[in-house]
Amino acid sequence: MATFGEAPAGDVAVGEKIFKTKCAQCHVAEKGGGHKQGPNLGGLFGRVSGTAAGFAYSKANKEAAVTWGEDTLYEYLLNPKKYMPGTKMVFAGLKKPAERADLIAYLKQATA
């Protein structure tokens, strides 16, 4: 499944578990939370990469100027270092389409 449109429907509860086990050590999802090793993800959808105030992004992340949405996150989460060469994010990615769709469903709700 190459695109988000072809992915299965995401499950918010499963996505929350994925976030807690694979993302929460570096990211906070809720708006207003602080940055950790990674930026706070509050307000993620519609935001341009490298623009969360107060976080020291890599040059690659700032210059990519990706507008985060379902489609871009779906591709990015497959293999962040391939999608954005030079990123500081040390995450191998989520290979299973359903896991990416579940995480995106959770992020849409948690970061709003």
**Whole-angstrom Cα distance, residue 41 to residue 74?**
15
Could you read off the pLDDT of 77-105 as tens digits, one per residue? Answer: 999 999 999 999 999 999 999 999 999 99
Share of the chain above pLDDT 70, in %: 99
Angle at 49 between CA 47 and CA 55, to 5 degrees: 100
Lowest mean pLDDT, pick from 2-6, 10-14, 56-60, 91-95: 2-6
| CA 42 distance to own-chain centroid | 11
State the chain's mean pLDDT as an integer. Answer: 94
Q: Is residue 68 within a helix (H) or strand (E), and if so which, with residue range? A: none
- Mean pLDDT over 60-79 rounds to 96
Non-local CB neighbours of 77 within 8 Å, separated by 6+ positions: 93, 94, 100, 103, 104
